[in-house]
Amino acid sequence: MRYSAAEIRNALNNNELCVYYQPMCVTMTGQLKSAEALVRWIRPDGTIIPPDSFIPEAEGSDLIMDIDWYVTEQVCRTLEKQNMMPQYPISVNFSRKHIHEKNFAERLASMMDKYDLPHPLLEIEITESAMVDEEALLLDWIISIRKAGFTVAIDDFGSGLSSLQFIKDIPADVLKIDKSLLSHNCEDEKEKIVLESIFTFAHRLHMKTVAEGVETKEQLAFLRSCDCNKIQGYLFAKPMPEKEYLELCQTYRGTDEFNDILEVQSTSSSLNLLIEAVLYRYPLIIFTNLTRNTYYAMAHQDFTSTNCPSTGVFDELIEHGVNSMHPEDRELFEATFNRENLIKEYKSGTKMIRLTTRQLGDDGIYRKVETVDCFVSSDYSTDIIAITLCENLAD
Ligand code: C2E
Ligand code: CA
Ligand code: CA
């Protein structure tokens, strides 16, 4: 059934358009994290008309702009009702037409401010197909929205002609992966490879990921292995009226089924936990590529001396280390950890080198520091890699 623009306008004016909410959950735990606002037309006789039956017609004119703003205002009211309970962010769909709207971000901000709502509670979804042309305009639009404190999600990624080139340049916070990319049980090898690479590039571009249309446990298991951040789909919840959604927000604690993080996490999330623990133990960890003379440091605030750059040339790091060493320890430290010596040790089969020295702290006091270098090998390269664990010792 198709409806005319006049009929839809009438529905809008008569308050027949109504916002449903579909929860988005943390992939690893199933806990409620946010929701998407999805419009429905509820006729006076109670029939519910889905958006696909009237949004395309509305998109043919500026009517869609009025609908989207109407939905946004309803969302503000819903968020306001959550005032006394945990407030979960809500995403709103905006048609591409809004990228031409002057002062869009200001209008969003003043609407949220009217209800006294923090801006990060609103997320703007814009579909990937909105990006085919007018790239520069879209980029400025997104930048202005984020500047105003809102988050931006690229919707339906993978449903059309996705351009990785373009996604790379888009400063969005979230990538929503279209349900068409997920088969029923995610078993096809090629499909898995495509999805895994999408998650990898999204995470490497520092975008959060959401998978839409998750219906089966098999899909969930696969998405967990990809470190997908959030999922949305019938497996967890269908879109629901506001009243039901507010009840859910008030009572939601996550279901027991998903509560044991050890059962559900992927290898890389276990590694993240492990790194957290290791960083407690060793406040400074340095990854060094001895072959290429580069390093990457992960430092904890409590380390004695905090002023080494987080990445750079390894030889310079050692020089920096020598200079912050107690004068009596300098020679030994340099002789042990200079690159040439480390490579020699590695080649002679040494697995680990350990040395205690006194190092000058930010406070001008010398403290004992134990430095342990471990040689590790990588599957991807023949470069010689060392991991350095530094620990402050008690005086
Ligand atoms: P969308 O933004 O991709 O929204 C997700 C759609 O997938 C929703 O359909 C949702 O009900 C459906 N869905 C969620 N989980 C599952 C699942 O597990 N399986 C399946 N098969 N489907 C699932 P809905 O609500 O019918 O919305 C359709 C589209 O209408 C939306 O797609 C969005 O593009 C548009 N739309 C909805 N509300 C608005 C609005 O306020 N403004 C604008 N501009 N567009 C809207
Ligand atoms: Ca959407
Ligand atoms: Ca979508």
pLDDT digits (tens, 9 = 90+) for 52-61: 999 999 999 9
Place of tokens 């790239």: 135
Instruction: Pick from 212, 217, 219 the residue to mutate for probing ligand 1's pocket: most ligand atoms within 8 Å of its CB.
Output: 212
| More confident of the two residues 225 and 276 | 225
What is the number of alpha carbons within 13 Å of residue 10 lying toward its C-beta?
A: 7
CA 81, 83, 87, 91 dihedral sign is: positive
pLDDT (tens digit per residue) in 323-342? 989 999 999 999 999 999 99
pLDDT at 267 over 90: no
pLDDT (tens digit per residue) in 89-99? 999 999 999 99
pLDDT at 188 over 50: yes
Atom of ligand 1 nearest to the CA of 51: 30
Round to whole Å and give the CA distance between 392 and 189.
Answer: 48
pLDDT band, very low/low/confident/very high, at 205 (cuts 50, 70, 90): confident
Backbone φ and ψ for 214, nearest 5 degrees, come out as: -80, 120
Q: What is the pLDDT of residue 29?
A: 85
Contact 126, 155 (CB under 8 A): yes
All domains in the chain, ordered by first residue: 5-252+259-266 (3.20.20.450), 282-392 (3.30.450.20)
Q: Which of 14-23, 292-301, 343-352 has the lowest mean pLDDT?
A: 292-301
Which residue's CA lies nearest to atom 22 of ligand 1? 213
User: In the predicted model, what is the mean pLDDT of residues 262-269?
Assistant: 60
Whole-prediction pTM value?
0.72
pLDDT at 199 over 70: yes
Most confident option among 37-41, 78-82, 176-180, 247-251: 37-41
The gap from C-alpha 84 to its chain's centroid, in whole angstroms, comes to 27
Which residue's CA lies nearest to atom 2 of ligand 1? 93
| More confident of the two residues 186 and 213 | 213
Identify the helix (H) or strand (E) that includes residue 29. Answer: none
Contact 137, 96 (CB under 8 A): no
H/E/C letters for each residue in 286-314? EEEECCCCEEEEEECCCCCCCCCCCEEEH
Structure token pair of residue 121:
């509670």
Contact 253, 85 (CB under 8 A): no
What is the percent of the chain with per-residue pLDDT over 70, rounded to a whole number?
A: 91
Which residue's CA lies nearest to atom 23 of ligand 1? 213
- Which SS3 state, helix, strand or coil, does residue 170 take? coil
Contact 386, 288 (CB under 8 A): yes
- Which SS3 state, helix, strand or coil, does residue 186 take? coil
Total residues belonging to the chain: 395
pLDDT (tens digit per residue) in 293-316? 999 988 776 666 666 777 899 999
Identify the helix (H) or strand (E) that includes residue 248. Answer: helix 242-251
